[in-house]
Chains A and B, each alone.
Chain A
Amino acid sequence: MAGEVEAANAFSKLRILIVDDNAAMRGLVRTVLSAFGCEWIFEAATAQHCLATLRQEPIDLIIMDWKMSPVDGLTLVRMLRSQEKSPCPFVPIIMLTAYTETSKVREARDAGVTEFMAKPFASDSLYLRIQTIVNRPRSFVRTKEFFGPDRRRLKPKDYEGPERREDEYQTA
């Protein structure tokens, strides 16, 4: 298809940060990303290390665990979406977690994650999430209560109800 690039070539240009306190899981994710063609893979075991890396490296994408200590992944996402304090409030974040409950997916989305992915993870699922982030990035939404990727994935064409998010306006 026109405008498509070879995956290995594309991945070789991406700088991806894996944030997980479990070294084994970081190793598995690194293995898969390397096989995709990624050459710039960074790792962090804590939120503090993650923030330090983000201040030093122009990271394109974060793959993050939820259950970490002393600062958990959800708190870290909120910190990264804080426009006053974050080094990269727009960075795409894939939450890769063993939590699979619907309530957890909703909680992660409301914190500002871009994509949610359940462990145990499959390599094709990870590829698909990254492909979506590159090809169809979400717009960002800012309200008094929320800043992060638009939580509306679907825009049903047959929806005839009112626009519930009033006062909507676009910025480039």
Chain B
Amino acid sequence: MSSREKPIEIITPPNMLRVKVGGRLPAADPEAIARAEKALDQLSGEFGNWLGQEVDKLEAALKDVKTHGLAGDHGDALFTVAHDLRGLGSTYEFPLVTRIAASLARLIETPEKRSTVPTPLAEAHVHTIRAALIQNIRTDQDPVGRQLAEELETRVVALVGEPT
């Protein structure tokens, strides 16, 4: 440990949260988890529409990028939507969308990357995500979906390296 971290003060505040809730939470509560899963399941009829809206945002962001380029605010906007899709795809029952959006997000994560990567590769990601929705290809168990995801990921790694 470097000397810059000295001296050190350890502060242990009283556990007011446990006092507030009246005790310890159970290590697991299958009933609470089941209620949550049921609540999400009741929303699942809307997942297709909601995912479609997110992909609409992605395509709109791509359109701006094709007009103005990846550098600058438009590239950052495309990254933001891709990053959101990475987090939402699996919840919306399309893990393949999460996987491809993750690859796109890695490709265009930083201004440095966005200044060098080719826009057509970003565009290929967006088109593949839309195709997955249209064809209802939800997971990489589908051979075409897997092959497309692997091809895109390989090209991204070749350009920006492995995740750290």
Contact = CB atoms under 8 A, between A and B. Distances in A.
Contact of A167 (B6, B17, B33, B38): B6
Interface string B50-64: 100110000000000
Interface residues of A, number: 65
**Residue among B31, B86, B164 having the largest count of chain A Cβ atoms under 10 Å:** B86
Nearest to A34: B39
B7 A120 contact: no
Contacts of B65: none
A9 B26 CA distance: 12
B11 A7 contact: no
Interface string A6-42: 1111110110000000101100100110111100000
A98 B26 CA distance: 28
Nearest to B89: A120
Contacts of B13: 90, 137, 140
Given A37-B32, A120-B98, A169 B9 contact: yes
A164 B12 contact: no
**Residue among B23, B31, B102 having the largest count of chain A Cβ atoms under 10 Å:** B23
Contacts of B105: 98
Given A103-B164, A130-B25, A13 B20 contact: yes
B110 to A, nearest CB: 12
A121 B40 contact: no
A141 interface: yes
B151 interface: no
Interface string A85-108: 000001010000111011100000
B135 to A, nearest CB: 21
A123 B36 contact: yes
Contact of B5 (A120, A150, A165): A165
Nearest to A37: B32
Nearest to A8: B32
Nearest to A126: B36
A154 interface: no
Contacts of B6: 143, 165-167
Q: Give 10 closest A-B pairs by Cβ, nearest first.
A: A119-B87, A167-B7, A98-B87, A123-B36, A10-B21, A120-B90, A35-B36, A164-B1, A7-B29, A35-B35
Interface of A: 1, 3-11, 13-14, 22, 24-25, 28, 31-32, 34-37, 60-61, 67, 69, 90, 92, 97-99, 101-103, 119-121, 123-124, 127-128, 130-131, 133-135, 137, 139-146, 150, 164-172
28 contacts: A1-B26, A4-B24, A5-B21, A6-B26, A13-B20, A22-B87, A28-B91, A35-B35, A35-B36, A36-B35, A67-B83, A97-B87, A98-B84, A98-B102, A98-B105, A103-B164, A120-B87, A120-B98, A134-B15, A134-B18, A135-B18, A135-B25, A140-B11, A141-B9, A141-B10, A165-B5, A169-B9, A171-B12
Interface of B: 1, 4-15, 17-18, 20-29, 31-33, 35-40, 43, 50, 53-54, 76, 80, 83-84, 86-91, 98, 102, 105, 163-164
